[in-house]
């Protein structure tokens, strides 16, 4: 379970970096409104539940994968 948690955490960090690079145009990249698309599957099902509850927004998309990371960490420690 440790490896699943570490791989998930690495994917989350890569997705955050891609979001920052695409949003702010770092490293010579053009600004891309779809740069946060890689965060969506990492945050499922929490981002869908937040959207249905009326809490949709970029902050929810960024923080939703942390819930899954917390669950994976709990499973690893248990």
Task: Give the chain's end-to-end CA distance (angstroms, integer).
Answer: 10
CA angle 52, 57, 58 (to 5 degrees): 140
On average, the pLDDT of the chain sits at 93
Q: For the whole model, what pTM was predicted?
A: 0.89
65/45 Cα distance (integer angstroms): 9
Burial (0-12, 13-18, 19+ Cβ within 10 Å), 35: buried
pLDDT of 42 > 90? The answer is yes
**Residue 56 pLDDT greater than 90, yes or no:** no
Q: Give the start-to-end residue ranges of the domains of the chain.
A: 2-77
Say if residue 62 is exposed, middle or buried (CB neighbours under 10 Å; 0-12, 13-18, 19+). middle
């Amino acid at each position: 379970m440790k490896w699943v948690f570490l791989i998930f955490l690495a994917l989350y960090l890569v997705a955050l970096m891609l979001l920052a690079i695409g949003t702010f145009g770092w490293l010579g990249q053009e600004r891309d409104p779809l740069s946060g698309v890689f965060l969506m599957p990492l945050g499922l099902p929490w981002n869908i539940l937040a959207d249905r509850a009326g809490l949709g927004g970029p902050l929810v998309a960024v923080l939703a994968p942390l819930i899954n990371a917390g669950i994976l960490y709990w499973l690893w420690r248990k």
